[in-house]
Structure 1
Amino acid sequence: MAVGTVKWFNAEKGYGFIESPEGPDVFVHYSAIQAEGFRTLDEGDRVEFEITSGRDGRSQAADVKKVS
């Protein structure tokens, strides 16, 4: 699991980016957020996530969970 910080997230569009200390920013889609109800993230949230490869071959976050 990687740990990073939410750079930005647009709740209306359902996606954003996580700053990862392990490399370039990672795309995150709302469907990857592990939470009950409305799944969204706020700028500055600390999150744990898996890095996967999206359809276009770029890094994408999966199994995203907020951490304290």
Structure 2
Amino acid sequence: MDHRTGEDDGVVRVWYDDEGWGVIDCPSTPGGCWTHFSVIEAEGFRSLTPGDTVHVRWESPGQDGYDYLATWAR
């Protein structure tokens, strides 16, 4: 798979506060975009809420079985 990057608006599918990661669904990331808390632009405890709309920058190949990996989210 070629290395690709992009940016899109998406919706948080699931978020695991105790593990610090979750999945964002975007039109440009079919199957979901794996997201780690460290890429979230926020003050204090960084977390996302399922159902919220976020803006995400991503790259492919991804991580942990996902084709896409978030490199920044807000």
Fold agreement, TM-score > 0.5? yes
Q: 1:38 to 1:52 in 2, by over 3 A?
A: same
How many residue pairs get matched? 65
Alignment of 1:15-54 (within 5 A): 15-22=21-28, 23-53=30-60, 54=62
TM superposition outliers: structure 1 runs of 4+ over 3 Å: 53-58
Cα distance in 1 between the residues matched to 2:31 and 2:20: 20
Root mean square deviation of aligned Cα: 1.7
C-alpha displacement of 1:55:
6.2
Q: Unpaired segments of 5 or more residues in structure 2?
A: 1-6
Q: Unpaired segments of 5 or more residues in structure 1?
A: none
Q: TM-score, normalised by structure 1?
A: 0.83
C-alpha displacement of 1:20:
1.2
Equivalent residue in structure 2 for 1:4, among 1, 10, 14 = 10
Q: TM-score, normalised by structure 2?
A: 0.77
Once the two structures are superposed, what CA deviation does each residue of 1:23-44 show, in whole Å capped at 9, x if it has no partner? Answer: 2200000001000000000000
